[in-house]
Amino acid sequence: MKNAVEYHLFVALFRIARSMSFRRASSVGAGIGGLAFRLGFRRGVTLGNLRHAFPEKDDVALRAIALGAYRGYGKAMTQMLWSAGASPDELTAIIHFDNPDVFHAAYRQGRGVVLLSGHFGAWELMASSLSLALDVRLVVVAQKQRNVRVNDLVDSIRSRHGCTVVHMGIATRRLFQALREGKALGMLGDQSGPRESEFVPFFGRPAATHRGPASFALKSRAPLIFLALVRREDETYDAWMEDVDFSDLREYTPENVRELTRRHVAVLERWVRKHPDHWLWMHKRWKHSDYYQQHHQELVTPQPEPTPE
């Protein structure tokens, strides 16, 4: 029953968003996000995360960031739903790639690209906009949603312009094959990993982080590019790309995986510090930090990464 209710609510919002202009859908999403903040949905988690991240800011400033993050999340969701009915010209008009040469230079190397971002700005628009604007087809690595029908609908939106969606947890062979074929993997690297993940600093606290982006880059020697979508006043986005250099990390080793993970997380943190209202502060990003403090010595002992099948 719960899944059915969730699905029908999602479909209703989906139909409403598709009937609106981009700016109207963005406004509605901001309103929904603001309402969620006022109703207290994960507000305690959000403000707790912000207090740890910005101890120098007072509660008024932190609540303003939190409200902006909720409004931004609402925008990201309704913009994603709006995009399902948008034309290619409409999609390319809302994302402005400010330095696409960074991606083109990496792509021309012929080893594929690991394109990394986080839950920052309008992450769900990245696959379609990148495919259309830069003429590249992404293999998008995504978390499978608990609600199967909602998951199928979201995946259909993500793959509308030629992208392939691969869910986390499957054998890695298919993803390495995509890189060998010169394709780009689109990944989000900022969700909390399990206790067995790599712990690296994020806003001054150890955060369990998936090894995937660093492992794929080191094993394949595919360039690792970070992409950030920064919202403009007119609700469109500037897309900024930067290379996460690991030319000095010659081999795939547990130590190098940890170092490259630290580097790409540091890039994300820099962008979040510049635009704190763009990030998903309601996520329990540091839920394993206490575990790390208790088992630090065991966790810093390098563990070998499985080789692809």
Number of structural domains found in the chain: 1
Tell me the residue range of the domain where 235 lies. Answer: 2-299
For the ranges 1-5, 104-108, 147-151, 222-226, the lowest mean pLDDT is seen at: 1-5
Residue 135 lies in a domain: yes
pTM: predicted TM-score of the whole model, two decimal places: 0.91
- Examine residue 304 and state whether it is found in any structural domain, yes or no: no
Which residues are bridge partners to 237 per DSSP? 95, 231
In a domain, 307, yes or no: no
Q: Residue 170 has what pLDDT?
A: 63
pLDDT confidence bin for 306, thresholds 50/70/90? very low
Q: In the predicted model, is pLDDT for residue 61 greater than 90?
A: yes
Classify residue 48: in a domain, yes or no: yes
Radius of gyration for the chain, computed over Cα atoms and rounded to the nearest angstrom: 19
Domain for residue 306, yes or no? no
Per-residue pLDDT, 114: 97
pLDDT tens digit sequence for 1-40:
788 888 888 888 888 888 999 999 999 999 999 999 999 9
**Domain for residue 165, yes or no?**
yes
Task: Name beta bridge partners: 200.
Answer: 207
User: Within a domain: residue 173?
Assistant: yes
- What lies within 8 Å, CB to CB, of 254 at 6+ separation is 302, 303, 304, 305
For helices 59-83 and 2-18, give the axis angle rounded to 10 degrees: 80
List, for residues 96-115, the tens digit of each pLDDT value: 999 999 999 999 999 999 99
Rounded distance between C-alpha atoms, residue 130 and residue 237, angstroms: 12
Residue 201 has pLDDT above 90, yes or no: yes
Checking if the pLDDT of 198 tops 70, the result is yes
Establish if 308 belongs to a structural domain.
no
